[in-house]
């Protein structure tokens, strides 16, 4: 039987990543697991360094991280509310947040190892075109590199709104 307890969701606050948050909350509730929400901004680490130099106050970094952690928790709360509005019950699950700079793929792979993640739940924007065909999407790279299962959520709506 499939048994997963730890779910990781990279979140960029797009609709498709919010759908991935919803799917991860549902999976974690069904398996009595927990969810890690990851927000990783490519230039965030450089931006934080600039802010720290221009205003050398430790609160600059902690305020930025706190803001993004609050946004991650709000994204989870929004999905719980949407779920309830659809007439469904979703039990609470433990939620952990991780905010950092750098590419989300590398950070996600580190977190998979660090927290022994069982499943990464990732949205895909379904990008196509020559570049996507030649290089592949980041989600495709995640599927290839992750040492755990990857559950890919497509952009076509929120999973709990389907019959």
pLDDT digits (tens, 9 = 90+) for 3-39: 899 999 999 888 888 889 999 999 999 999 999 999 9
pLDDT for res 123: 87
SS3 45: helix
Query: How far is residue 48's CA from residue 155's CA, in Å, rounded to a whole number?
Result: 31
**How many domains are there within the chain?**
1
pLDDT for res 103: 85
Q: In the chain, which residue ranges form alpha helices assigned H by DSSP?
A: 15-30, 44-54, 58-85, 104-115, 130-135, 138-145
CATH number of the domain where residue 133 is located = 3.40.50.620
pLDDT for res 3: 80
Task: Give CA 129 to chain center in angstroms.
Answer: 25
Contacts with 4 (C-beta within 8 Å, 6 or more apart), sequence order: 27, 31, 33, 118, 119, 149
Please indicate, yes or no, if residue 147 is contained in any of the structural domains.
yes
Query: How far is residue 26's CA from residue 111's CA, in Å, rounded to a whole number?
Result: 21
Query: How far is residue 62's CA from residue 66's CA, in Å, rounded to a whole number?
Result: 6
pLDDT for res 131: 42
Please indicate, yes or no, if residue 1 is contained in any of the structural domains.
no
Please indicate, yes or no, if residue 43 is contained in any of the structural domains.
yes
pTM (2 decimals)? 0.82
Residues lower than pLDDT 50 in the chain = 130-135, 159-163
pLDDT for res 104: 86
Please indicate, yes or no, if residue 24 is contained in any of the structural domains.
yes
Please indicate, yes or no, if residue 50 is contained in any of the structural domains.
yes
pLDDT for res 140: 84
Cross-strand bridge partners of residue 154: 124
Q: Which domain holds residue 96?
A: 6-161
């Amino acid at each position: 039987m499939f048994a997963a307890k730890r779910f990781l969701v990279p979140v960029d606050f797009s609709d498709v990543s919010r759908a991935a948050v919803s799917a991860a909350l549902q999976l974690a509730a069904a398996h009595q697991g927990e969810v890690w929400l990851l927000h990783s901004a490519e230039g965030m680490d450089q931006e934080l360094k600039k802010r720290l130099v221009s205003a050398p106050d430790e609160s600059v970094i902690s305020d930025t991280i706190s803001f993004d952690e609050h946004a991650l928790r709000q994204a989870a709360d929004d999905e719980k509310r949407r779920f309830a509005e659809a007439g469904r019950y979703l039990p609470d699950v433990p939620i952990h947040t991780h905010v950092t700079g750098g590419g989300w793929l590398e950070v996600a792979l580190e977190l998979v190892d660090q927290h022994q993640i069982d499943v990464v739940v990732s949205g895909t924007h379904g990008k196509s075109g020559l570049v996507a065909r030649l290089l592949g999407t980041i989600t495709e790279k995640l599927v290839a590199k992750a040492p755990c299962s990857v559950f890919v959520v497509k952009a076509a709506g929120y999973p709990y709104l389907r019959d």
